[in-house]
Structure 1
């Protein structure tokens, strides 16, 4: 897209235009699940890159999108509210930080919606120590942020889990794969934790050559900035004959199934603590969660869990798996409340109408931010 949106109707005669700022294609799935049934608004999405799966999701939502930050800036005046889904205070997300500052300056209300079961990235002033966690207010409790308001899944004012569904999946046969869902790209893990976890995975794959594993690393674990897990990923890719029972998913190649799609094809899971656990709960699949000192206080809040801290514990759990082995219970799996989300956005639209800067001030601000974006 180039230039300006073709918005001819006066603001009061059209549906509110909601801007959406995503850090990348990884956030598309949770965004789509959140707004899929919301028909009260139009959406204009900015993300720095696009792939076929994201494009298909936007087409399904009939949402306009752009990868051109200048286009998004030039059309900021058309926006009534902006949604973000976990923008990290990191140089890789500099464009989103810039756009958030712009929205605050021109009076467009910014709502930041939870994107992961545990997260700290929804705030922009994090010192890498705050966890955004509360056992009483819902996981990912709001903390310091540039956003005007943070919206969580659980808690008294939560909107529920956007991907919530209660499907009765056919139980895979006993020879179905085990899904390994990992995300060690989190500041609370120390290097020793990562090395220990990698050792467990490598030994697991080699100890059970007749068991099929599907491993879906977090997108950040494919990055050279996270070398510990990447070493094992690269070893599997370079010498697949040494790991004939392991199939990698992700990394921009081959099978690009979502986590929930993979859970449906597997009989059980192995995971680090994170959003994967709530998906295993939702789809009623047993899951063993990696335990270490860094996450013990978080795991302790689950209502029911199976944990492992070494290979022996994991092998015992796998050997004892039965068809009726229960799934984890996080205490955070709440049905999605679309009405609550619409209410939050509608209230924000009203706030924007009273905060919006005058047209005389607007253009110089937009031009200034466009120059900054081009630097």
Structure 2
């Protein structure tokens, strides 16, 4: 029986994995890049991210991932954040806790650490790195979640999230934490050769030196921070479960109207349902994991966008006036319902393009 369940779990994971890989060649918007920091493992240090978030690293916090032996020396720490549903779409980050459960997100961060010769590091047992996340999406009663790299599902963690209201704080980060800001360390030729540094500036819509100015102190005065202690490298999320008790199931079917020369070649392989107000996203495919014929369901009276992305990077969306009302959803509960998506040949090449096209 256990063997049978293991095989079923493996099949579900492989189906989910193949869906994720299938989508990689579609959207033409560059993913959010990591920012790289150079620190010393034998020092407690604080780092600033360009959104205003802070990362606090205790002394002697790293071990080799392969051997679990303590590591002393220079650490290349890589970090990035994604905050809203459009970031999640661009970076192909899902919100599934299971095949039937989805999260409402307050934002994600991803963290990794390496030696200068590219050996992977992890957090030493008994040590915690604290991330004070400059929240851009207002969500309350958040829990901490970690993306299990083996199952590719989110798992709730026991680490509580603490809200720090920056305007009321009179102490500095170093006073509260006891560390000192990390000094910037130059990259060696060897580190540059294996890909650290210049390409890891992050994706914030500008380039250093082109008039962009950012002061972490400004963010400290104006932001609400969500503090989380982590003991694992990887992708972390500030979330709570999307309550779908009122969701109405449909047997969904999708058609595309297009005047493009390649209209006959446009195939819907993945459909996104975005609840912007909840900062939640659910996707469906025709077969396999989260099938639109078997698993499709919509929350009535929730602001919603339904769209798909084609292999050439263009999109097709359901016009807002075509969204089914709660009355229509109830009428077609557990019945076939056809959504007619309108193709837009213009390909979004940056996040702002995607937001504009979906918001029209």
Bigger RCO (CA 8 Å, 6+ sep): 2
TM-score using structure 2 length? 0.25
- Higher strand fraction: Structure 1 or Structure 2? 2
TM-score using structure 1 length? 0.24
